[in-house]
Amino acid sequence: MTTDPNILDELLKDCKTPDDVDNLHAQLLQRMINRALDAEMDSHLGYGKGERTGDQRRANTRNGKASKMVQGTFGTLDITTPRDRDGSFEPQLVQKRQVRLAGMESKILTLYAKGMTTRDIEHAMQELYGVRISHTIISQVTDAIVDDVRAWQQRPLDAIYPLIWLDGIVCKVHQGKQVINKSVLVVLGVNLRGEKEVLGLWIAENEGAKFWLSVLTELRHRGVQDVFVACMDGLKGLPDAVTAIFPKCLTRF
């Protein structure tokens, strides 16, 4: 769609600074979202606002609107969500109880993954995006992803893996107010469908055969019954740790 240049000129005539452009963007976005929510309600009810039919009796009708403030990249938006009589309308563009537009969560999690505290993230979001998000909301976002991480860590595994790789990498991590080196142990497997799959990641003070034994024991508890070939480096004691849990496994360096 091409917009009439005269309309664009009229819209931009009072824009003198980047903040003015951001404010215009926020206004246009707000208007677009509100119109889209009205369209969602039309689709939900099966008829448009003010539309008449021969039979005016309807199973469900509009019931006013609810207003809320939603935080976007370019400022706060006043969003009005239509309501229906039986409360069955579930908006998708801006969902119920949503207080931020999509995209903020991924930015928060990226900063969190880099070791920033919730207070640090709060200040960074304000400085980088001009968005004020309380540390309480940030904690809710990070707590939600922690639940997903735990579910992934504890998920059941296949009974047989023809091939697995075991290796450790050294990463810098935040611990308290210090940045220290820790070992991240990685198990990568190939399942019977020929697909590569990361079976898990474990953080240790250092890479050792004893910790690897606990990792392999966990894999057993999560459903792995046999491994045909395990590839690894020359870490002392690691082959013995593998065969202690999977006696028939061949170990390769």
pLDDT in tens, 165-196: 999 998 887 777 777 888 999 999 999 999 99
Rounded alpha-carbon distances, angstroms, from residue 128 to 25, 73, 108, 120, 147: 17, 10, 12, 12, 28
CB atoms within 10 A of CB 149: 11
User: What token pair was written down for 100?
Assistant: 């931020």
Q: What is the pLDDT of residue 37?
A: 83
Query: Is the pLDDT score of 60 beyond 80?
Result: yes
- Alpha carbons within 13 angstroms on the beta-carbon side of residue 166 total 27
Which residue did the predictor score with more confidence, 47 or 219? 219
Average pLDDT score, the chain: 82
Query: Is the pLDDT score of 51 beyond 80?
Result: no
**Angle at the Cα of 146 from the Cα atoms of 144 and 152, rounded to 5 degrees:** 110
Chain-centroid distance, C-alpha 140: 12
Q: Which of the 8 DSSP states describes residue 100?
A: B
Query: Is the pLDDT score of 39 beyond 80?
Result: yes
What amino acid occupies position 79? Answer: I
Q: What is the pLDDT of residue 73?
A: 66
Listed ranges 29-43, 55-69, 234-248; the one with the highest mean pLDDT: 234-248
**Angle at the Cα of 121 from the Cα atoms of 80 and 203, rounded to 5 degrees:** 125
Strand order in the sheet with 160-175: 196-204, 178-190, 160-175, 226-231, 250-252
User: What token pair was written down for 118?
Assistant: 């919730």
Tell me the pLDDT band of 74, cut-offs 50, 70 and 90: low
- Residue pair 77/29 in contact (Cβ under 8 Å)? The answer is yes
Give this prediction's pTM.
0.55
Q: Which sign, positive or negative, has the C-alpha torsion 171, 175, 180, 184?
A: negative
Q: What domains, with CATH codes, occur in the chain? A: 5-146 (no CATH), 160-252 (3.30.420.10)
Query: Is the pLDDT score of 223 beyond 70?
Result: yes
pLDDT in tens, 129-158: 655 666 666 776 677 677 777 888 899 999
